[in-house]
Every structure is written in structure tokens, then in C-alpha cells.
Amino acid sequence: MEQRGPETGAGGPSAGADAGTEQTAQDDAAVARQELERRLAATEDRLLRALADLDNQRKRVARDLERGRLDTHERVLRDWLEVIDSGERALAAYADRAQDPIFSGLAALVGQMEDVLRRQSVQRLGTPGETFDPERHEAVGTAPAGGVPENSVVAVARPGYAMNGRLLRPAQVIVARGGGDGA
């Protein structure tokens, strides 16, 4: 009688052991797959967060660059305003000599400077008769109302300027106060 060993039997103890080993291998593979899927999801999440951070940083840098460009532009324009003030003072000094060639030259120069401001979208602020606005005007004095509404601009000591809704420099103005008798 030929004896069979446990490894060759069809339904012997080794068949159960093989099935158990195979089940354990499948369980290990499932656990490994779940771990890989978890790590992949975590990596994808980190990647998406990094991309969002990069996009936010890019937008922040673009905003900062634009803000810096605008600040530099405004600083240059504010310096230019001082030059215009000097030109207008010189023009006012020659106002009684309108036929003088110096007056004509100054008038042309001031006109060119004002054209530069217009091309840069700069608006002049402060005209007599408008209502005093502390956001746009700086009161440097008061005067009796004398027939004009109280709290209105009587005279402009130095014009103000704004660009695209942003104040470059407030207008220095004389404001009407009290009744016509100076009270």
C-alpha cells in the first residue's frame, strides 16, 4: 500500500494550510493596497494645497508689485506737483506783464505740465464756490461768508490733486464761516 504524504493529498491538512496562506496573502495585499490608497490620497491633498498656496502667493506678489508700481507713480506725480506749483507762482508773478515774452513762455510751460497731468488721469481739486470736503480739502484759514454759503471754499491757497479716485494731495483752501459780517 502506497502512502501519500501530507503535501500530495487533495483534501489533506496541507490543502487547508495553502488556503490559509493564500487568504493571509490576500489580506496582506488588501491592507497594503489600503495603505497605498491612503498615502496617495494624502499626497494628492498635499499637492492640491501646495498648488493653492502657490496660486495665492502668485496673486499676492502680483498685488504687491501693482501696489508698489502705483505708489512709485504717485510719488513721482507728487514731486511733479511741486514743479507745477513753482511754475504757477512764476506765472502769477508775471501776470501784470502779459505782453512780456517771459509770461508767454511760462504760460506755455505751465500748460505743458498740466497736459502731462491730464494724460496721467490726474484731476485738479479745489475751486472757489464748492463745498468744503475734509477728505479733499485742507482748511488753512477762514473768511467771512459774505454772500457765499457757509462752509464753502472762498479761495484756494494751493490746488489739490487726485488720480483715479486716490488723493495725491489735498487742496489748501480758505473756508467761509459765519455770516456776512465776519462773525
Q: Across-strand partners of 176?
A: 143
Of 15 and 108, the structure prediction assigns the larger pLDDT to: 108
State residue 16's pLDDT score.
Answer: 57
**Mean pLDDT, to the nearest integer, of 117-146?**
93
Sheet of 171-177, strands arranged across: 137-144, 171-177, 153-158
Of 18-32, 72-86, 139-153, where does mean pLDDT reach its minimum?
A: 18-32
> Residue 85, SS3?
helix
What is the number of alpha carbons within 13 Å of residue 33 lying toward its C-beta? 6
**Mean pLDDT, to the nearest integer, of 114-125?**
94
**Mean pLDDT, to the nearest integer, of 18-39?**
87
Of 95 and 40, the structure prediction assigns the larger pLDDT to: 40
State residue 15's pLDDT score.
Answer: 55
State residue 182's pLDDT score.
Answer: 41
Whether pLDDT at 140 is above 50: yes
Whether pLDDT at 98 is above 90: no
Measured from the Cβ of residue 60, the count of other Cβ atoms closer than 10 Å reads 10
State residue 147's pLDDT score.
Answer: 84
**Mean pLDDT, to the nearest integer, of 131-154?**
92
Angle separating helix axes 101-119 and 13-93, nearest 10 degrees: 160
Whether pLDDT at 165 is above 60: yes
State residue 94's pLDDT score.
Answer: 87
pTM: 0.66
Burial (Cβ within 10 Å: 0-12, 13-18, ≥19) of residue 137: buried
* Per-chain mean pLDDT for the chain: 87
Q: Measured between alpha carbons, how far is residue 3 from residues 6, 7, 9, 20, 24 in Å?
A: 10, 12, 10, 25, 30
Q: 179: pLDDT confidence band, cut at 50, 70 and 90?
A: low
> Residue 72, SS3?
helix
Q: 45: pLDDT confidence band, cut at 50, 70 and 90?
A: very high
